[in-house]
Amino acid sequence: MATYEEVLAMCKELYAKQHPGALRGPGIKTCHIAHAKELLGMPKKPRLSLRPRKYPCPPEKLPLIRQAFIALGMLPPDNG
């Protein structure tokens, strides 16, 4: 299982390949990764707070995070 830092690095790498002229990165936060894991049914640590997520994963960022999970071997290509 890759760390959140490894997932962030892979997201940046994939984003750079998809948007070669981009001046900024994808803007992925670790809280987006945690929410994406929850949405994709992946194992993660339980949430400590019962409140709604302050920063849920935006729908437009979920495909990039999913691609990073696949590239890091955390998710099979046919899942999701």
Task: Print the domain residue range for 26.
Answer: 4-71
Answer yes or no: is 45 within a domain. Answer: yes
So what's the pLDDT on residue 1? 83
Q: What would the pLDDT profile of 26-71 be if each residue is shown by its tens digit?
A: 999 999 999 999 999 998 888 888 899 999 999 999 999 999 999 9
What residue has token string 């997932």?
A: 7
Answer yes or no: is 77 within a domain. Answer: no
* Total count of domains within the chain: 1
Round to whole Å and give the CA distance between 32 and 37.
9
Answer yes or no: is 27 within a domain. Answer: yes
Query: What per-residue string of b and e applies to 12-23 under the rule 16 or more CB within 10 Å gives b?
Result: eebbeeeeeeee
So what's the pLDDT on residue 79? 54
User: Taking 60 as the threshold, does the pLDDT of residue 80 lie above it?
Assistant: no
Answer yes or no: is 79 within a domain. Answer: no
